[in-house]
Amino acid sequence: MDLKEYMQQKADDPFLSDLSEEQKEYCREVEASYVEVRAAKPVMDKRKFWAFFSGAAAVLVAAVITIAVIFAPRKPLMYFDDKIVSEHSTIEALNNDSKQFKVNLIEYTTFDFSMSYDSDSGDKLYYEINSEGFFEKSIIKIVINKNYNYSFKELGETVAKPLNGYTLNYYVEESFDSTQYTGWIKLKTETVYITCTQKPSRGNEAFFTYVQSVIQAK
């Protein structure tokens, strides 16, 4: 029933016959307003539905984009040698930053610590330890950044030696008055690189004792 038919039906309503023309006109206006609201309501509900649907769709799209950005595979960072800066450091800072290794000081040996970082990003890359004692002189580098590719070349036949908590991979170069050991230890995402020179030569066991005394697995 449309509005015109509705108003025609109401014109014959007995209730209206006892009212004045002014009162009848007022009742007709109220009735007409009610009918118009009823007729318009479905349209309004439909508009509300599409408005809600559009908003929900926008939120869903935004969520999908956010998830894609967060979980998209990222390329590893690249660090360049000309951007690496070194500064003096301490054994406390090294042991705090390294998650896999702990460094110990030993008697009658001097130690000097430095930390190298990327000047562009500020990311810490590795620590370097220079030590010198009565019989050993060594350079130890502990790479703590898994994205940093330290350049290391094997120049001899490598031997694997299990020690306390890790495996030492090393090779030996001998001369007439000294022996140089070069090796590395890897635990998870961190790697230790060692160059140790004995003068005079004291043999493999002395080298193993020195490494285990200085480098400890956490």
Verify that 38 and 96 share a domain, yes or no. Answer: no
Structural domain harbouring 118: 81-217
Into how many domains does the chain fold? 2
Contacts 24+ apart (CB under 8 A), 158-165: 161/208, 163/208, 163/211, 163/212, 164/212, 164/216, 164/217, 165/216, 165/217
Cα 209 to Cα 214: distance, rounded to the nearest angstrom: 9
* Final residue belonging to a domain, choices 20, 46, 71: 71
Cα 89 to Cα 85: distance, rounded to the nearest angstrom: 12
210 within domain boundaries: yes
Cα 88 to Cα 79: distance, rounded to the nearest angstrom: 20
Give pLDDT tens digits along the chain (218 positions).
Answer: 544 555 555 555 555 455 566 655 655 665 566 555 455 555 445 555 556 556 655 655 555 455 554 555 555 578 999 999 999 999 999 999 999 999 999 999 999 999 999 999 999 999 999 999 999 999 999 999 999 999 887 777 899 999 999 999 999 999 988 999 999 999 999 999 999 999 999 999 999 999 999 999 99
Using an 8 Å Cβ cutoff, are 210 and 196 in contact?
Answer: yes
76 within domain boundaries: no
* Final residue belonging to a domain, choices 19, 49, 71: 71
| pLDDT at site 146 | 94
Cα 3 to Cα 211: distance, rounded to the nearest angstrom: 98
pTM of this prediction exceeds 0.85 = no
Verify that 65 and 140 share a domain, yes or no. Answer: no
For residue 127, what is the enclosing H or E element? strand 124-132
Verify that 117 and 93 share a domain, yes or no. Answer: yes
Q: How many helices (H) and strands (E) does the chain have?
A: 5, 10
Q: Length of the chain in residues, anyone?
A: 218
* 3-class secondary structure, 101: strand
Which two structure tokens, joined as six digits, stand for 1?
């029933």
Verify that 211 and 133 share a domain, yes or no. Answer: yes
Contacts of 187 (CB under 8 A, 6+ apart): 100, 101, 165, 166, 217
| pLDDT at site 174 | 92
> Cα torsion for 55, 58, 60, 65, to the nearest 10°?
-160
| pLDDT at site 3 | 46
Verify that 43 and 112 share a domain, yes or no. Answer: no
53 within domain boundaries: yes
